Structure 1
């Protein structure tokens, strides 16, 4: 337990630091949007690209892991569709609950996996992201626009332009080609990647909005329970059924136990969803994850 806490507390310390730095207006308000864009378009893609370019794609557990990821997302999505039918949610709320249940904080996930398992864990996580990011993005956009409809082009174009997806695809292609990362390019990517996770966690903290927690407490509570307890339990059951090895099981459960992504707020506001409810869900889940993640990982051993 002590080893687990030692691995995780620096991550949440960076989130808290980001929250207070923005409240203290340091370095200034204009810094944070620029930092988020730098990380999203350059630093974080460099991390994913370099890990997938060097990943051992012949790992026999990868097919099972991919199946586990898609089963988990698929079952979660079917449960959300059933709840929407029973509760009559409009798209503005359905999109929030979809993102609050299925989306995940990628920065926190990779930082936690790196702290616990090092490079082998990061490689597994990068491979999972290659499946999870496009799937979750499609489901999120569809759920927010379900009532007014959206063309296939409008649905898939943002996915095709997503820098994280492009980085995963490029890294996998480099890996399969056997070219590798010659001429010091591996060192360049490593330097860029090293800056990604600390900056990402600071930006996560800067995006928290505690003032939005006073709204719909029951909705926020059950959404947090579904994401932080229900989804990791589902992932664990799937891992047991498929017989995943220990590290693959832990990485799978960890990613399904992460709080929802701060970028969900931007998408919700852009597509006309309930952005206030989304901001509350992001904040509450991130705060609760400081307690739920160590407990879940401790139970996993």
Structure 2
């Protein structure tokens, strides 16, 4: 338990610090949008590219890991579709519930995995991201656009322009080509990657909106507990079914135990979803994950 606590508390200190920095206007309100964009388009892609370019893509456990990822997504998606039918959710609400259940905070996830599992964990997490990011993004757009005419171009353009997806593809291509990253490029990527997660966690804190935690308490709590406790239990079951080794199983469960992504709020607003509910879910899940991630790690590691 002490090891888990030591791995997690620094991450949440940065999140809390980001919240209070933004609240007090330090270093300025204009800083946070620029910092988030710089991280999203430059620093974080550098981290993903570097990780995938050196990842052991010939690892025999990888096909089983990716199979478990797809199986867990399929089970969760089926449950969401049943819940939508039962509750008759419109697209504006269904898209929020889906994002609250399936999207994940990549900054917190990679920081936690890197702190607990080291470089090997980061490599496996990067491979998972290469599969999860495009699938979950497509599902989110489809859910928020249900019932509307959505062209293939409108659906795919945000995906093919996503810097995280492009970085994953580029890293995988370099990996398979056998090209060696040298002449200082590896050091440059390491410097950029090392800056990404601390800045990302500060931005997560700055994006929290405690003022949105009112109104639909039942929906907020139900969605948060589903994401933070039920979904990782489903992921664990899928990992057991496909026979994942211990480390891969723990990383899979941890990834599916993460709070939802702060960027879900932006997509929800762009596509006319219930942004008030989305902001509340993001905030509540992030706050509760300080305890739930510790519980999940203690149980599965």
Q: Matched residue of 2:183: which SS?
A: coil
Render the CA deviation track for 1:176-215: whole Å, top value 9, x for unaligned. Answer: 0000212111110000000000000000000000000012
- Deviation readout 1:131-165 (Å, 9 max, x if unpaired): 00000000000000002131111111110000000
CA deviation after TM superposition for structure 1 residue 20, in Å: 0.2
- The structural deviation recorded for 1:299 is 0.7
Distance between the aligned counterparts of 1:248 and 1:190, measured in 2?
Answer: 24
- What is the deviation of 1:264? 0.2
Residue 28 of structure 2 corresponds to 28
Checking the alignment, whether the CA contact within 8 Å between 1:260 and 1:285 is kept in structure 2 is yes
1:250 deviates by 0.6
**Equivalent residue runs for 1:173-188 within 5 Å:** 173-188=173-188
Report the TM-score when normalising by structure 1: 0.99
- CA distance in 2 between partners of 1:259 and 1:201 (Å): 13
Match of 1:171 in 2: 171
Cα distance in 1 between the residues matched to 2:123 and 2:2: 25
- Cα distance in 1 for partners of 2:296, 2:14 equals 21
Identify the residue that residue 227 of structure 2 maps to in structure 1.
Answer: 227
**Conserved in 2, the CA contact under 8 Å of 1:48 and 1:126?**
yes
User: In the alignment, is the contact (CA less than 8 A) between 1:46 and 1:193 conserved in 2?
Assistant: yes
Q: C-alpha offsets along residues 96-152 of structure 1, whole Å, 9 cap, x if unaligned?
A: 000000000000000000000111000000000000000000000000000213111
Give the equivalent residue in structure 1 for 2:43. Answer: 43
| Superposition pairs of residues 235-250 of structure 1, within 5 angstroms | 235-250=235-250
Contact persistence 1:54–1:180 (CA under 8 A): no
TM-score, normalisation: structure 2: 0.99
For residue 214 of structure 1, give the secondary structure of its aligned residue in structure 2. coil
- For the aligned residues, what is the CA RMSD? 0.6
CA–CA distance in 2 between the matches of 1:70 and 1:299?
23
d(CA) in 2 for partners of 1:186, 1:115? 21
Runs (4 or more) in structure 1 with deviation over 2 Å come to: none
- CA drift at 1:242: 1.0
Report Cα offsets for 1:276-296 as digits up to 9, x if no partner: 000000000000000000011
Partner of 1:118: 118
8 A Cα contact 1:100 1:278, kept in partner? yes
Cross-structure match for 2:73: 73
Q: 1:84: which partner in 2?
A: 84
Q: Deviations over 1:10-62 (max 9, x none)?
A: 00000000000000100000000000000000000000000000011110000
Separation in structure 1 between the aligned mates of residue 180 and residue 143 of structure 2, nearest angstrom:
39
- Provide the residue aligned with 1:216 in structure 2: 216
* 1:288 pairs with 2:282: no
Following superposition, the deviation at residue 253 of structure 1 comes to 0.2
Matched residue SS, 1:298: helix
